[in-house]
């Protein structure tokens, strides 16, 4: 625990030049991890659908008869981050 405290103190006392380099490295690393995980998930998915199916196919399973209203409700819930 003491070593972690000392390491944190040393890192925080570096000049802004080195802090900027660490931040850039951190951002690049995390973007690369995000892209590689996204690509891996897309490749590993077994039943793949084409873009037309993904963006136009809506199944009315909620009981609402007009699929367009159901689609708009889904989009609005995604935009306001409620599900």
Whole-number Å distance between alpha carbons of 63 and 73: 13
Contact partners, residue 37, CB within 8 Å, separation at least 6: none
Q: Report the pLDDT value the prediction gives residue 62, as an integer from 0 to 100.
A: 65
Contact partners, residue 11, CB within 8 Å, separation at least 6: 22
The secondary structure of residue 80, as a DSSP letter, is T
- The segments of the chain whose pLDDT lies below 70 read 60-68, 70, 81-83
CB 70 within 8 A of CB 62: yes
């Amino acid at each position: 625990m003491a070593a972690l405290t000392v390491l944190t103190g040393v890192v925080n006392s570096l000049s802004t030049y080195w802090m900027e380099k660490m931040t850039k490295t951190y951002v690049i690393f995390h973007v690369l991890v995000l892209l590689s995980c996204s690509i891996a998930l897309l490749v590993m998915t077994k039943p793949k659908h084409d873009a037309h199916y993904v963006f136009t196919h809506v199944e009315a399973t909620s009981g609402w008869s007009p699929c367009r209203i159901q689609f708009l409700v889904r989009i609005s819930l995604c935009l306001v981050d409620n599900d």
